[in-house]
Amino acid sequence: MNQPFSGFSKLSKEEKINWIAATYFTTPEEAVALLKKYWNSDAKIQKLHDEFIENTITNFYIPLGVAPNFLINGKYSTIPMAIEESSVVAAASKAAKFWSTRGGFKATVIDTEKIGQVHFTYKGDVSKLELFFAQIKSTFFTDTENITTNMQKRGGGILDIELRDKTNLMENYFQLHATFDTKDSMGANFINSCLEQFANTLKREAQQFDLFSETEKNIQVVMSILSNYVPNCIVRAEVSCPIEDLEEKHIPNPISFAERFVQAVKIAEIEPYRAVTHNKGIMNGVDAVVIATGNDFRAVEAGVHAYASKSGQYSSLSHAKIENGFFTFWLEIPLALGTVGGLTSLHPLVKLSLEMLENPSAEELMQFVAVAGLAQNFAALRSLTTSGIQEGHMKMHLNNILNQFDATEEERHQVKNHFKHHVVSHSGVVNFIESLRQ
């Protein structure tokens, strides 16, 4: 295609597929057949998926797995995880089983405050703007009553609104910085609706404020939008046990293991290059549960990584210590999640995942997600500080390599037997398959 296509969005799904196939593929009929193969046979479910986003042509599947044996705050749970990366679910399950006999995971929600801002410019006397804000602050609450009534009935709503002077960063730049509690809803639509009304109220009231000059009345709203940085919407997950209880087949010397483990975490605390990979491992667990429960993993990722940089240097989200003969490993992360609204009541597998978790509140879901992240991190660090991470990862990756080469059942059997006693590598597996086929 060497020119824009006008009116693509107005085409039917079939027409979109046919155009894409004819324009970009040397064998259009194969492309069409592949796209249709991934349609859901239930027309009602397929229509539902088609309407989640725009210009849909098919469904893109990733596996939904489960990690059992999570003992969290004294209760066993099985956690759903949607992810395509080999070994993530296995690692989480292994960590869950390990800690189930050592007291399990403890999880606590520290706070649930969410944030939104109205960004605006004002040219004039700052003291007059501060007086103006103080006089009209209650009006922001009054003007949003039609939006906040139902949320208030559930115990949530607008917590506070502040005027923030940002002129040291940019000329004439100010904010209305608002905090919210959205209970079991993630709250994006609720917060943004409130913020847009704040903006309207700000501009309207400025026109009527007698102390403002004509220039000062001309407040310019740049934008009104929630923030995905939620440093006061925090959950803590923790595991702890006497050092000697860490002993198992792969940890014959628990004191040495605990010391290396703590050192590995401290390296991630002080070395950004390591911290990024360290935190990525945490997010393997976090994102998998966030996706499975229909939440916005991009928002979670952005907020979590900003939080990891709050000191001015990117650092580990998790921490470990040895104290009075006890090993303790924990993390605190910001998670703005919802169990009502969005996909939670629409996507059949999201509803199934939430039911598997016994229909948690948003705070309970925060705890499940944080625990999954901590379990994933523990599993990775245990491997890194003992046998190394590649042995287990490559064994899990073996199936992907076999699938790439359409291995037969007999070939699979021979390959797996061979690599029980040899290091798994992509080239090693390929060479062995080729030797079998010769």
Q: What does the alpha-carbon distance between residue 112 and residue 154 come to, in Å, rounded to a whole number? A: 14
Q: For this structure, is 347 an active site residue?
A: no
Cα separation of 167 and 171, whole Å?
5
Indicate which residue of 85, 245, 259, 301 is catalytic: 85
Phi-psi map region of 347: left, alpha, beta (phi>0 left; psi -120 to 50 alpha)? beta
Burial category of 231 from C-beta neighbours within 10 Å (exposed 0-12, middle 13-18, buried 19 and up): middle
- The active-site residue out of 296, 347, 364, 397 is 296
Phi, psi of 435 (to 5 degrees): -70, -35
Strand-pair category, 220-227 with 114-121: antiparallel
Structure tokens at 137: 């602050």
Query: In sequence order, what are the residues at sequence separation of 6 or more whose Cβ sits closer than 8 angstroms to the Cβ of residue 235?
Result: 107, 108, 109, 110, 332, 333, 335, 363, 366, 367, 369, 370
The residues with which 80 forms a beta bridge, in sequence order, are 66
Catalytic residue among 94, 183, 217, 393: 393
Cα 165 to chain centroid, rounded: 31
280 is catalytic: yes
In what helix (H) or strand (E) does residue 214 lie, and over which residues does it extend?
helix 214-217
SS3 call for 340: strand
| Active-site hit among 106, 280, 416, 418 | 280
Residue 426 among the catalytic residues: no
Cα separation of 185 and 156, whole Å? 10
Contact by Cβ (8 Å): 353, 80: yes
Please answer whether residues 95 and 378 qualify as being in contact, where contact means their C-beta atoms are separated by less than 8 angstroms: yes
**DSSP string for residues in 54-119:** SS--S-----EEEEEEEEETTEEEEEEEE--STTHHHHHHHHHHHHHTTT-BEEEE----EEEEEE
d(CA 385, CA 260): 6
Is residue 245 among the annotated active site residues? no
DSSP string over 374-432: HHHHHHHHHHHTTT-HHHHHHHHHHHHHHHHTT--HHHHHHHHHHTTSS---HHHHHHH
- 3 state DSSP class of 228: coil
Q: Give dist(CA 139, CA 142) in Å, integer.
A: 5
The catalytic residues are 85, 280, 296, 393
